[in-house]
Structure 1
Amino acid sequence: MKKLYLPFLIAFAIFFTGCGNEEEAATVIKSSSDFKELKKQTNKTYTLMTTKNEKIVLTVENDILTSQDLKNKVVLINFWATWCPPCIKEMPTLTKLQDKYKDDFVIVGVLYEKNKDLKELEAFMNKYKMNFPVTISEEENFRMAKNFDDVKKIPESFLYGKDGKFLEKYVGLINEESLETHIKNSLK
């Protein structure tokens, strides 16, 4: 008789441990967004607006970057903020390399902070002589950061070759030698 109860108890335990109560299920349903919002979150195409009111549209999927706006260039996507000391420290390196390889290399600065006053941002960019586009599309910037390996620590940068293939991820300060080597190798 005990042998008959054991399979029944195992099946009963498996059935009921796989489900939560109705209250938990309702919470999950309420916390998930509607279909359009979920689709937007998984969409790998980003439409970013710059401080100069220019649009940069790019798609990153399977470690390949495609963009009509950035076509045939080595691209560095740099997540940064004005309050971040390492971000400030790497600005001279970024502006130097942007200037040196301006025909073949572009940095897209993705501002990773909320509610930044545009005049303050422009003053910051002038102070540090930033010569590359900075995107201010707050919602799109943060969605992109989430999809790009869940960026949480800045600066964090992603480098793509002229062919759009992913080359390198930099967490923290960019190594100037490494970045320049990648740029040169991608141009060959």
Structure 2
Amino acid sequence: MFKKSIFLLSILSTLLFQGCSDKSNGNDMISTDEYVLTALDKKQYVVKKVTDGFILEGAEDKVVIFDIFATWCPPCRAAAPHLSSLKEKYKDKLIIIGITIEENILDEKLKEFADTYKAKYILVNSDQNRRLSNAIVKELKLGERFPIPTMAMYKNGKLINHYVGATEEEFIDSDIRNALGN
């Protein structure tokens, strides 16, 4: 009887600890290397961590800029029309995703930011925003208290360049041209 009890206890312990493992079993909805972002128009974008950086699903051979910002930040406000200008210039060769660091911001406030500061690119308001911005900033080695705006430019998951604070449109434009081979 004692041996059966020990045997049963060991099986239960094994199942308990295996159930608490941090290893993925393939059934997770979002892996630790995947981020699902929801835009103001409710369209969803999937970003994945890859060896060299981050890749936006479906954006192969396009330049992707992740703009980490806040609606109350003066340099972030100033950057929005410049990013919109670049988006207009490069059309379908460039995707810009504005990732607000503000927790629980209302979509209306983000829409007001877009209208006021002419942010004519994708703005996401998702519970994954902070997680992704922290992962990007960690990859860039900017520390926990990073400045905003912080922008990271990727092509096919490879980091092209990153910018911290107010950055001249011409510098970003030059990097986009180089990434596109122009």
User: What is the TM-score when the length of structure 1 is the normalising length?
Assistant: 0.73
The match for 1:62 among 35, 38, 51 is 51
Alpha-carbon distance in structure 2 between the residues aligned to 1:154 and 1:41 = 27
Alpha-carbon distance in structure 1 between the residues aligned to 2:118 and 2:153 = 21
The match for 2:135 among 147, 170, 175 is 147
Alignment of 1:135-174 (within 5 A): 135-137=124-126, 139-150=127-138, 152-161=146-155, 163-174=156-167
**Structure 2 residue 173 is the aligned partner of structure 1 residue 184:** no
Q: Check the 8 A contact 2:55/2:154 in 1, yes or no.
A: no
Count of aligned positions:
153
After TM superposition, which residue ranges in structure 1, 4 or more long, deviate above 6 angstroms?
Answer: 39-42
Alpha-carbon distance in structure 1 between the residues aligned to 2:117 and 2:35 = 26
Structure 2 letter corresponding to 1:58: V
Indicate the residue corresponding to 2:108 in structure 1. Answer: 119
Between Structure 1 and Structure 2, which shows a larger proportion of helix residues?
1
Residue by residue, what CA displacement relative to the aligned partner does 1:47-87 show, whole Å, maximum 9, x if unpaired? 11111100000112222333333222101001001000110
| Percentage of matched positions with identical amino acids | 30
CA RMSD of aligned residues (A): 2.5
Structure 1: runs of 5 or more not aligned: 1-32
Q: Check the 8 A contact 1:58/1:69 in 2, yes or no.
A: no
Structure 2 letter corresponding to 1:106: I
Structure 1 letter corresponding to 2:22: F
Structure 2: runs of 5 or more not aligned: 1-19, 139-143
Larger Rg computed on CA atoms: 1
122-131 or 90-99, which moves further after superposition? 122-131
Structure 2 letter corresponding to 1:156: T
Indicate the residue corresponding to 2:64 in structure 1. Answer: 75
Structure 2 letter corresponding to 1:133: I
106-115 or 174-183, which moves further after superposition? 174-183
